[in-house]
Amino acid sequence: MGPVNWLAVVFAAALALAIGIVWNGPLFRTGRQLLPGGSERAGNYAVVGIVFLVSAAMLGHSFARIGAETLAAKPWLYFMQTGGIAIAFVIPSVWLTHLRNRTEPMRRVIDCGFWLIAYLAMGLVFWVLG
């Protein structure tokens, strides 16, 4: 196993958080934030940032296990890994949670789209900084 690219982990988490802020703010103005809360918003973003940091660290570990030579020969694996995790695990979890909460269908689509874009963006960071 190769070393984890910790710089890419930090940048991937930061990019995913930035996408979340834009996605749930100016892009899809629905009155919803990434996490609800008025005065505690900075603390909420810190929690979301930590969640993305854990996700990015796991992705970094996965890419280290694949190996630099394999990733250099097959760069699409960055996107297959990150997109695959989003499609197979994250999106179904978000969708089922929204179903349980009886969230309107368009909100489900918007939120699931966010997770796919966020994970693919993390894959892009690992590819660029790989």
> pLDDT of 83-115, one tens digit each?
999 999 999 999 999 999 998 888 899 999 999
Q: Are 116 and 83 in contact (CB under 8 A)?
A: yes
- What's residue 51's pLDDT? 94
The pLDDT mean for the chain works out to 89
State the CB neighbour count (10 A cutoff) for residue 13: 25
State pTM to two decimals: 0.87
Binning pLDDT at 50, 70 and 90, where does residue 46 land? confident
